[in-house]
Chains A and B, each alone.
Chain A
Amino acid sequence: MSRIGVFVCHCGTNISATVDCPGVAETLSHVPGVVHSVDYKYMCSDPGQTMIKDAIKEHKLDGVVVSACSPHMHEPTFRRACAEAGLNPYLCEMANLREHCSWVHDKEEATTVKAIDLVRKMVEKVKKNQPLYSIKVPVTKTALVLGGGIAGIQAALDIANAGHKVVMVERDPSIGGHMSQLSETFPTLDCSQCILTPRMVEVAQHPNITLHTYSELESLEGFIGNFKVKIRKKARCVDEKLCTGCGLCSQKCPTKKNLSEFNEGLGYRPAIYSPFPQAVPNKPVIDKTQCTFFLKGKCKVCEKVCPTKAIRYDQEDQILDIDIGAIVLATGFKVLQPDFFPEYGYGKYKDVIQGLQFERLASASGPTSGEMKRPSDGKEPETVVFVACAGSRDEAKGLPYCSKICCMYTAKHAMLYKHKVHHGNAYVFYMDIRSGGKMYDEFVRRAIEEDGVKYIRGRVSTIYEEDGKLIVKGADTLLGHQTVEIKADMVVLASAAVANDGAEELAQKLHVSYDPYHFFAEAHPKLRPVETNTAGIFLAGACQAPRDIPETVSQASGAASKVAALFSQSELTREPIIAVVNRTAPPLHSTCTGCALCVPACPYQAIEMEDIKNRDGKVVKRAAKINPGLCQGCGTCVALCRVKAIDLQGFSNEQIFAELMAL
């Protein structure tokens, strides 16, 4: 007969408000096999855990059911408590009374009945639980950082400085990300490149960091501590070892009229180019879609002028295989693009631009060398309208979230404009000003009070061109929804920050969750903000949600410290939730018929067929064998096995049927 202990938690009033907790404990005490059943206000607290530990010893419990919150929340806590009391941790299960019962139902009898059912089924399951022992696996102490923006740079430097190897992979020809495009940064107005480029150089020169630019993640296999990644190093058509970065090829390239990605389409670049002067590495790439040689078969000017003969037209993509222990995802965001705002005329009128384009206009390294010239005719705009929340917080556009950074960068843009064009007029249309952060609100007040930027609370309905002016029509909700019309020379849209291109595909490659807007999902919104649900993969920066530079940097350092903590262990323990074939000695007794259906079903190639030989070395049987190091415990093979020779530890057929029978 089992000796099960049931512990019902009130979770303050989170559970007890709708569930009769003492009633649940009392009812459960009558269930056969339950020898101890109590309720307590906070089971996860120190006295609560002590209660469990004492009960295990006093009542010689061989199974524990903690009826509290989700196992995703506190299963490790209670399993640890059981282990401390000498009970195998896998003999402890949780019934989810909070998330799945008390929080989603009203106070009525049915809620308590459901709670009793939920606890009862776990009691039946726990009766069938077997003691399990965690598996030890080695750790490859190399981290992969995906993305070379400020988030990736910070994470890579922190991990590398902790003494571990880092492989950084960046999709673009240079690291730096969006931060390298910015002119100045709020709230201090210090030059973005001045603070970023030293860090970029540090990454390139750090002995612990291997940098792969113009590269992408091809595939990922394995698990925490033991990932195997394939990196596609796209052909630069330039030998990186020979190239000195002199830039002669770019100067002489005849195909110069290609829109520059770095300048957000406001400037041009040659077909062989380095995105910007401070690029790291400062080695050009050939854009095969625009190079005359690749399009027409002749030209080869760059090859002729290159003093070190570094041009390689025949270079091919390389696939690199690398062993990795942990991954930091820092793939960033992108700014919402044109056709999203037909009413604002973005893409139709040259002088309607988005925030990043304004950054390039204001930047000393930009297409206008920092002079305020509007894109259409190069004139200095006398009146500029800034539209905040262009796309953000607009449910009709499918983006109900706040992009967070726009309030601050709009204030910065207006300020930068006023600093460059003293007599100009700057108007900002806004919904709310969200300027939470150190020195942030003061910064916005400075824009309004010292620089005289005119803030109008209301949204812009339409923008159209008339007599060479952009007519911005909006409402002023503080003046009783009065219509406002401004004749502007340039309009800057604070476009929403959205998930980067390919975020969904990347999430699927890595098996991390993502939210409806394709931002990567953290393991817990409050307590595990830098981890994903996939062990060993961490998040940094705006790939998780829109965020500004200080937040990105602190999150990147957080992710890096998680990686460093992981790498500080010589071996990792893994949950023993894996599939096993019933092939106890003698193996002939296994019910496995050797049909091998499970082999192709396994997503991890963890199953192989093994010949079972008799003493004479003659093969008498073939049976499946599961590699415990590779098995991740999904159980697909279990459901597939026709003779039920495979079972999943922790979620065995016996356990689940027992659960069902209790309902």
Chain B
Amino acid sequence: MAEFEPKVIAFVCNWCTYTGADLTGTSRIKHASNVRIIRLPCTGRIDFMLLMKAFAKGADGIIVSGCHPNDCHYTSGNFHARRRWIVYRSLLNFMGVDIRRIIFSWVSAAEGAKWAEVVNTAVNEFRALGPYDEYKNLAPIRANWRTEHAG
């Protein structure tokens, strides 16, 4: 049987990590192909509903990456993201979401090699965790809940 390949969605900022990932390409550093990058202007733009939606759409793992602290193109967007993540993390944990499946990282525009490393490590970890069925299985339950309570 083929090995389980996790579906990984990465939310990255336009100025550091996206450019860093471009550098990974320009430097031809190979990495796992499971990751799909969603480009946002800044990590500060990341509404954590996006992360929930990603899980709902079947992501087995999520990477969030932006500029290093102090290096934000918009001065402080990454600080907002970091603060929000700290709060959100405990909320997710409380709700029973497996927070090992969200990896938060800083990758600058000069760190092409680091981006490949982040992706590979994340993919390996998610692969070891297996498919995130618990979350996916919630979807039909929720659908039933709707039909039951609507009628």
- Cβ–Cβ contact B73 & A636, under 8 A: no
Quick one: which of B15, B41, B48, B77 contacts A533, CB cutoff 8 A? B15
B36 an interface residue at 8 Å Cβ cutoff?
A: yes
Q: Chain A nearest CB: distance from B48 CB in Å?
A: 8
Give Cα A513–Cα B111 distance, bound, in whole angstroms.
11
Given known A-B contacts A534-B73, A636-B76, A663-B7, A105 and B45 have beta carbons under 8 A apart? no
Measured CB to CB, the nearest residue on chain B to A533 is B15
Within 8 A of A (CB), among B98-126: 108-111, 116
Quick one: which of B36, B38, B47 contacts A638, CB cutoff 8 A? B47
Number of A-B contacts (CB under 8 A): 143
Measured CB to CB, the nearest residue on chain A to B70 is A508
- Cβ–Cβ contact B57 & A660, under 8 A: yes
Contact indicator per residue, chain B 7-28, by CB within 8 Å of chain A (1) or not (0):
1010000011011011111101
Q: Chain B nearest CB: distance from A118 CB in Å?
A: 7
A521 an interface residue at 8 Å Cβ cutoff?
A: yes
Interface size on A, residues (CB 8 A): 51
Q: Chain A nearest CB: distance from B95 CB in Å?
A: 18
Given known A-B contacts A99-B21, A104-B28, A603 and B74 have beta carbons under 8 A apart? yes
Measured CB to CB, the nearest residue on chain B to A117 is B36
- Cβ–Cβ contact B75 & A603, under 8 A: yes
- Cβ–Cβ contact B25 & A657, under 8 A: no
- Cβ–Cβ contact B42 & A516, under 8 A: no
A558 an interface residue at 8 Å Cβ cutoff?
A: no
B97 an interface residue at 8 Å Cβ cutoff?
A: no
A373 an interface residue at 8 Å Cβ cutoff?
A: no
Give the size category of B's interface with A.
35 or more
Give Cα A648–Cα B40 distance, bound, in whole angstroms.
10
Within 8 A of B (CB), among A503-529: 507-508, 511, 513-516, 521
B84 an interface residue at 8 Å Cβ cutoff?
A: yes
Residues of B within 8 A of A98 (CB): 25
- Cβ–Cβ contact B71 & A660, under 8 A: no
- Cβ–Cβ contact A603 & B77, under 8 A: yes
B89 an interface residue at 8 Å Cβ cutoff?
A: no
Quick one: which of A72, A515, A533, A651 contacts B73, CB cutoff 8 A? A533
Within 8 A of A (CB), among B25-81: 25-26, 28-31, 33-34, 36-42, 44-48, 50, 53-54, 57-59, 70-77, 80-81
Measured CB to CB, the nearest residue on chain B to A577 is B41
Quick one: which of A507, A632, A663 contacts B36, CB cutoff 8 A? A663
- Cβ–Cβ contact A663 & B46, under 8 A: no
- Cβ–Cβ contact A100 & B37, under 8 A: yes
- Cβ–Cβ contact A639 & B47, under 8 A: yes
Give Cα A542–Cα B48 distance, bound, in whole angstroms.
42
Give Cα A601–Cα B79 distance, bound, in whole angstroms.
10
Give Cα A110–Cα B106 distance, bound, in whole angstroms.
27
Residues of A within 8 A of B71 (CB): 507-508, 513-514
Residues of B within 8 A of A100 (CB): 21-22, 25, 37
Give Cα A153–Cα B42 distance, bound, in whole angstroms.
36
Q: Chain B nearest CB: distance from A298 CB in Å?
A: 44
Give Cα A100–Cα B57 distance, bound, in whole angstroms.
22
Measured CB to CB, the nearest residue on chain A to B39 is A71
Q: Chain B nearest CB: distance from A96 CB in Å?
A: 7
Residues of B within 8 A of A335 (CB): none
Quick one: which of A114, A121, A511 contacts B74, CB cutoff 8 A? A511
Measured CB to CB, the nearest residue on chain A to B19 is A72
Residues of B within 8 A of A99 (CB): 21-26
Show 9 A/B contacts (Cβ-Cβ < 8 Å), sorted by A.
Answer: A96-B37, A100-B37, A118-B36, A513-B16, A513-B110, A533-B109, A603-B75, A636-B76, A639-B84
The 10 closest A-B pairs by CB, nearest first: A99-B25, A635-B45, A636-B44, A634-B74, A103-B25, A603-B75, A634-B42, A99-B22, A639-B47, A105-B33
Beyond A533-B15, A657-B53, list 14 extra A-B contacts (CB 8 Å): A99-B24, A100-B37, A103-B28, A104-B33, A117-B36, A121-B38, A507-B71, A521-B110, A603-B74, A603-B76, A639-B48, A639-B81, A660-B53, A663-B36
Chain B interface (Cβ < 8 Å from any Cβ of A): 5, 7, 9, 15-16, 18-19, 21-26, 28-31, 33-34, 36-42, 44-48, 50, 53-54, 57-59, 70-77, 80-81, 84, 108-111, 116
